[in-house]
């Protein structure tokens, strides 16, 4: 028997889901928001993702008084307080809308329009005209013997809530998450070792950019072990030991904690999507079209669960697409997205948009590259003012049309600068126009005047 009926049912309190719930609630629609844990009100970003990790990065970059352990404990405590405050604000954002109800419990489909929510012994059945799945993604552990049994194996979710500072931190995975945490914990004072299966970290980036990041992290004390195949993990006194193969030989590494940063998969387990007739892709993501509709037209999937880029701002844009389907002209789609930027919060941060040099060359485009080390950019005094002159700026430009094909900015303020570049790319602003624009002084943006005027390295 169905207990209640809603216009919209959202499963998962993430950015896209909560934004859509609030939008529809303010329009007077009856909305149910189902979240499996009260500790996840507001979604991954504010609780275990962007906000706490970037708060910890800030604390690591601006150490206060005390020992490394004391500074780390204070950083964790301050971050917990911040996420708790934001969690409450996110709950209130929906709870204060008369037509929206927040229900805490685990959701599973019973049929295409009915969902059962279970919280302990309490069971509730909900029906809705439109259902949005916004359950995000979860870290995945590779099939290494002993890995899932170790008391010292952590995901990023575990590590940000760890009360003590590991003296020795091993990081399995040289992708964006692994590199970000390696940078953070090296600054906190941990001895960090990054092990990766590939020949170098950040395989999606150009070699010169990845090499610059590697150099900065090495200077901070991070060690890198490439070409690794981990064969076993087991706990030892007060820590963990990894056995791995590299260069044709067996090795061991002992650490206090092991961060596994080998990727995330869409969180669909337990949803019983089969009962709803909702198809998934071979990778486990919910299959959607460009309007984020699933194989059931009244069911949508937004955010990480649909297999798109795992960024909170993509989830936000997903909510706009679904809102346009429900209340607008239904024309907005994922095909509208161009030059979506992203940032890896190393110190300094690496931000990118568009094509890498390698990708542009592989496409056969006429490429010229403008690149300069931040320390050599005379017209960027802000870097010297704030004492952060590490990194480089690199632009990939079409040598015929002067179109900006991509940019990689490893520098102070890059997380802000890349938004300017991405906006310019979307609106056809040329490299010459970016080069000759008037920027405030002293700012990081004015570096574009000099970097884009540098003699380019041309590639056919």
Q: Give domain status of residue 180, yes or no.
A: yes
Name the one residue in this structure whose structure tokens are 């995901």: 155
- Number of Cβ within 10 Å of residue 60's Cβ equals 20
- Asked if residue 113 and residue 44 are part of one domain, the reply reads yes
- Asked if residue 399 and residue 255 are part of one domain, the reply reads no
Query: Among the three residues 321, 336, 351, which one is the final residue of a domain in this structure?
Result: 336
* The pLDDT of residue 454: 80
Of 214, 211, 248, give the one whose Cα is nearest residue 229.
Answer: 248
- Asked if residue 280 and residue 133 are part of one domain, the reply reads yes
Query: Among the three residues 243, 262, 281, which one is the final residue of a domain in this structure?
Result: 262
Question: 1 pLDDT band (50/70/90 cuts)?
Answer: very low
pLDDT of residue 287 exceeding 90:
yes
- Asked if residue 309 and residue 360 are part of one domain, the reply reads no
The half-sphere exposure of 405 on its side-chain side, counting CA atoms within 13 A, is 23
Q: Give domain status of residue 37, yes or no.
A: yes
> What is the C-alpha separation between 171 and 181, in angstroms, rounded?
8
- Asked if residue 325 and residue 389 are part of one domain, the reply reads no
pLDDT digits (tens, 9 = 90+) for 151-181: 999 999 999 999 999 999 999 999 999 999 9
By residue range, what is the domain housing residue 24?
A: 4-137+265-336
- 358: which 2 tokens? 């390698």
> What is the C-alpha separation between 6 and 97, in angstroms, rounded?
14
Query: Among the three residues 336, 357, 391, which one is the final residue of a domain in this structure?
Result: 336
pLDDT digits (tens, 9 = 90+) for 73-121: 999 999 999 999 999 999 999 999 999 999 999 999 999 999 999 998 8
> What is the C-alpha separation between 94 and 438, in angstroms, rounded?
43
Domain tally, the chain = 3
Burial of 15 (0-12, 13-18, 19+ CB in 10 A): buried
What's the CA angle centered on 219, arms 169 and 369, to 5 degrees? 115
- Taking residues 390-409, report their average pLDDT: 98
pLDDT digits (tens, 9 = 90+) for 337-367: 999 999 999 999 999 999 999 999 999 999 9
Burial of 369 (0-12, 13-18, 19+ CB in 10 A): buried
* The pLDDT of residue 277: 97
- Asked if residue 375 and residue 269 are part of one domain, the reply reads no
Strands (E), 227-346: 229-236, 239-246, 249-255, 257-260, 264-266, 299-301, 342-344
* The pLDDT of residue 387: 95
Instruction: Give me the active site residues, please.
Output: 441
Question: 458 pLDDT band (50/70/90 cuts)?
Answer: low
> What is the C-alpha separation between 63 and 90, in angstroms, rounded?
29
Query: CATH no. for residue 386?
Result: 3.30.390.30
């Amino acid at each position: 028997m169905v207990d209640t009926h809603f216009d919209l049912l959202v499963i998962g309190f993430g950015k896209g889901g909560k934004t859509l719930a609030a939008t529809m609630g303010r329009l007077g629609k009856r909305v149910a928001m189902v979240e499996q844990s009260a500790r996840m009100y507001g979604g991954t970003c504010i609780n275990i993702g962007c906000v706490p990790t970037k708060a910890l990065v800030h604390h690591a970059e601006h150490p206060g008084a005390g020992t490394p352990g004391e500074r780390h404990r204070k950083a964790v405590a301050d971050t917990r307080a911040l996420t708790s405050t934001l969690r409450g604000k996110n709950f209130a954002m929906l709870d204060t809308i008369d037509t929206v109800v927040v229900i805490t419990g685990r959701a599973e489909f019973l049929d295409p329009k009915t969902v059962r929510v279970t919280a302990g012994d309490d069971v509730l059945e909900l029906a809705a005209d439109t259902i949005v799945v916004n359950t995000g993604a979860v870290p995945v552990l590779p099939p290494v013997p002993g890995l899932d049994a170790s008391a010292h194996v952590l995901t990023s979710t575990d590590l940000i809530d760890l009360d003590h500072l590991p003296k020795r931190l091993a990081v399995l995975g040289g992708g964006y998450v692994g590199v970000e945490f390696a940078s953070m914990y090296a600054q906190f004072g941990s001895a960090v070792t990054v092990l990766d299966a590939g020949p170098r970290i950040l395989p999606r980036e150009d070699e010169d950019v990845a090499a610059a990041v590697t150099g900065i992290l090495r200077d901070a004390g991070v060690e890198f072990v490439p070409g690794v195949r981990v064969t076993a993990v087991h706990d030892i006194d007060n820590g963990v030991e990894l056995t791995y193969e590299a260069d044709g030989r067996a090795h061991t590494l002992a650490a206090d904690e092991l961060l596994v940063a080998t990727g995330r998969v869409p969180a669909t387990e337990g949803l019983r999507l089969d009962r709803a007739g909702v198809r998934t892709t071979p990778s486990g993501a919910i299959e959607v079209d460009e309007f984020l509709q699933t194989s059931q037209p009244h069911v949508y999937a937004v955010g990480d669960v649909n297999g798109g880029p795992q960024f909170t701002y993509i989830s936000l844009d997903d909510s706009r697409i679904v809102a346009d389907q429900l209340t607008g002209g239904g024309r907005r789609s994922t095909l509208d997205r161009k030059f979506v930027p992203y940032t890896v919060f190393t110190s300094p941060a690496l931000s990118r948009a568009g094509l890498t040099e390698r990708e542009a060359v592989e496409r056969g485009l006429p490429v010229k590259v403008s690149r300069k080390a931040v320390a050599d950019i005379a017209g960027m005094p802000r870097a010297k003012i704030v004492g952060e002159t590490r990194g480089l700026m690199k632009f990939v430009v079409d040598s015929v049309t002067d179109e900006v094909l991509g940019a990689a900015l490893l520098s102070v303020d890059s997380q802000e600068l890349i938004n300017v570049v991405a906006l310019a790319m979307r609106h056809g602003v040329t490299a010459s126009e970016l080069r000759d624009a008037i920027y405030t002084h002293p700012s990081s943006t004015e570096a574009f005047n000099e970097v884009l005027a540098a003699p380019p390295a041309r590639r056919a």
